[in-house]
Structure 1
């Protein structure tokens, strides 16, 4: 029997487990319009997904003055919470997580979402009890700072070499690299997979089925 390589898996949320990339990008665009900023392109709005909220909005809307950041954040939350019920898990995520859970892996979430946003998503997506722990950007440092990964590893006393980060953005993979962890990229979320190569992921999955198959064979 092949020896298991990893004990802890940290999943990004939006664009990795949750099919939310397009909605988040549209909410960013709407929030910037609301405060009179220049609307970012869809590509620019998608690029910042995974960062902490205010870090992301500041990056997407560099012309918006800092004194308007609180309003910008409020407008984003207004748009997002109004339509979050339209977002769902990617097909195949629940069976994949159930499979990993039965194998005794520690499953966690490391996300740029707020604590409120993640808790509301977990409460509405039949995932209660699946994840052993989570960290959000407003609890700790935002990506690509490695702090949230280091906190999760410390919580379960798992070293970096036994930890795997899975995400859809370069922010996720850079965080893993900064923490000394292995990573897997997914190309069906916010970032084009061409940008992943420089960050040395173990694998790039183009759909959830590919991700599940790789995890079955390599974790």
Structure 2
């Protein structure tokens, strides 16, 4: 069934920005600094998209409050001050967002990042002015809770039937389902295509640059 969307909400890490390697390296550095043991790269990739708090407790369910605080401080110190791995936009992201904005879509971000990190990243990639609003995990509930999407829709006055969430993890797709919106997956991020398709998105795109054509072809 064709639907004309008004609001496009994007995940950040793994959807717009190739930040997986930096996130994995930062997690491993913080894990080592706090002395928590070991977490594989695959296990860390699995929690990308969650808030930092939810990701830590998912990886280390028995972590105590002191260790959690130490981890959080080490993670942020390493990510912002010590890690030098690049976090480039995926190919064609800026042009795709500009095209969608010029077409008349409302654009937003719903991310597991904290506000400080997102603001820095938006400014670094010169994308701040393209988005009508953004929500971060330290401002509301973590994905897959629907609150981020609900707040974005409420702020912009857009109903769920006119909203679509675009993301690279099942947490994005589950959040969309919980909020009553449609979802589009991208296959090049943290979660693999079969896992994403199991969440029944409208489509799973191999490149974000294919999004405008898909939306145009499926307008009501």
Shorter-chain TM-score tier:
over 0.9
Q: Which secondary structure state, in structure 1, belongs to the residue aligned with residue 130 of structure 2?
A: coil
CA deviations on 1:158-197 (whole Å, 9 max, x unpaired) are 1101000000000000000000100011111111111122
Return 5+ residue gaps in structure 1 as ranges.
Answer: none
CA RMSD of aligned residues (A): 1.6
Match of 1:186 in 2: 186
User: Any unmatched runs of 5+ in structure 2?
Assistant: none
Alpha-carbon deviation of 1:85?
A: 7.0
1:52-67 pair list within 5 angstroms: 52-67=51-66
Match of 2:137 in 1: 137
Q: Please tell me whether residue 195 in structure 1 is matched to residue 187 in structure 2.
A: no
2:97 match: 97
Check conservation: 1:165, 1:172, Cα contact below 8 A.
yes
**CA offset digits 1:27-78 (Å, max 9, x no partner):** 1121111111122111110111111111111212335333210110111111
Shift in alpha-carbon separation, 1:170–1:86, aligned structure 2, 3 A? same
What is the SS of the residue equivalent to 1:28? helix
TM-score of the pair, normalised by structure 1: 0.94
Aligned residues: 217
**Matching of residues 24-35 of structure 1 within 5 Å:** 24-35=23-34
Please give the alpha-carbon distance, in whole angstroms, between the structure 1 residues aligned to 2:12 and 2:137: 12
Residue 198 of structure 2 aligns to a residue in which SS? Answer: helix
